[in-house]
Copies of this chain bind each other. A is one copy, B any other.
Amino acid sequence: MEDSLFSRDIAAAQNIANPTTFLEPDESLLQVRDWFRSQPNLEARFGQVLRQSIDEVLDGQRTGRFSVEDLEKTEKTYLGTKVEIIARAEFNLSRGEKMDFSVSGHDVDSKFTSAKNWTIPGEADGHICLLIRANDLTANYQVGLLRIRDALLNLGANRDGKRTPSAAGRGAIQWIIPEGKLPENTLLNLSDADRKAIFGAGSSGQARTNELFRRVQGRLVNRNTVLTVARQDDSLKRVRDARHHLRNEGIMILGHQKQHPHIARALDLRVPDKGSWIAIRVARAEEFGPTRRSTQISGQNYALWRAGDSPEPAPTEY
C-alpha cells in the first residue's frame, strides 16, 4: 500500500524532496526547528522524555512488562499522549491555539510512533508536525518537523482515515535529532536465558532482585528496572537487601552515596547517579599486578574478579 502510486510519488518528490529549491522556504518551520536546536542538552533531555514515557506506560512495577510490544492498543495510543505531556513539561511549552504545542509562536502538533511510520489525521493538513519515533529495541530515536501536505502522504488510509508520510514526505522532514540515543532498557537487552533466570527466580521480589544483580554486572541498572523485577514499591530497600544477600558471592552493588562513586572510578566503572546502581564481583589480594586496577575498601585491597581468582566475600561495609 505504501508508496503504491509510483508516478504520483515521483511528482511529489520533484516538488518536495528539496523544498528550499523548489518551494519558498518554510520560515515558520525553520523557526520551530531552530528553537528546539537552541535548547541546552537537547538530545539527552529528549531521550529522557521518551525513556520516562515508555516506562510510565509499561508500568513495570505493577505489570512486570518491559517491552512496548506487550502494550495493548489503547496503551500504545496513549503512549503518544504521554510523550506529548512529558515533552511539554520538560521544555516548558504551552499549548498551541489549535495544536499540541506553541513553539516560537507557531502551532505544532505532536506525533509519536514506536513503529516505522507516523499516522497523520486529516486535521493535521497544512500544520507543522513534530514527528517523534522511538525504537526501544535498538535504543535510538528521531525527532523532526514536517508541514503536512496531501502530496507528502501515502494515498492509503487506515480505518480511522489516517495516512502515513510517503517516501517523499519522509525525505522532506527537517531533522532536529536525526539519530538520538535512547537510555537503555536493561531488561529488553538481556539474553533470554538471563531474563528467564531473573523472572523465574521465585515468587519473592527480593529473590528476583538478587538474581538481577547476579546476572547484570558492570552495567548501570536503574530504579525502574528494579521495580519491574521486584514488583514492589521500595526499590532502595530491595537493593540494600540484595547487597546483604549477595555479599558471600563476592558481589557488591554500588550506588551514588558514601564512597561508592570513588570505588566506581577507581575500578574504571561508570559512576551511578541517584536512582541507579552498578553490580560487580570483586576479588581480594594483598597486591594486584600493575595491569589490574584496585582500590582500598575497609583497609583491604579489592579488584574486579577474574576467572582464576579465588572466591572471596564482598566487604561488609562500603
Contacts and interface: CB of A to CB of B under 8 A. Distances in A.
21 contacts: A59-B85, A62-B85, A62-B86, A62-B88, A62-B89, A63-B85, A63-B88, A63-B89, A72-B81, A74-B74, A74-B77, A74-B78, A74-B80, A74-B81, A75-B78, A75-B81, A77-B77, A77-B78, A78-B78, A78-B81, A89-B231
Interface string A56-84: 00010011000000001011011011000
A59 B72 CA distance: 20
Interface string A211-253: 0000000000000000000010000000000000000000000
Interface string A79-102: 011000110110000000000000
A234 to B, nearest CB: 13
Nearest to A65: B85
Contacts of A62: 85-86, 88-89
A131 to B, nearest CB: 18
A80 B77 CA distance: 13
Contacts of A74: 74, 77-78, 80-81
A75 B78 CA distance: 6
Nearest to A78: B78
Closest 7 CB pairs of A and B: A78-B78, A62-B89, A74-B77, A74-B81, A62-B85, A74-B78, A59-B85
Nearest to A75: B81
A46 to B, nearest CB: 16
A86 B88 CA distance: 26
A231 to B, nearest CB: 8
A74 B57 CA distance: 13
Nearest to A61: B89
A86 B61 CA distance: 10
Contacts of A63: 85, 88-89
Nearest to A77: B74
Given A75-B81, A77-B78, 16 more contacts: A62-B85, A62-B86, A62-B88, A62-B89, A63-B85, A63-B88, A63-B89, A72-B81, A74-B74, A74-B77, A74-B78, A74-B80, A75-B78, A77-B77, A78-B81, A89-B231
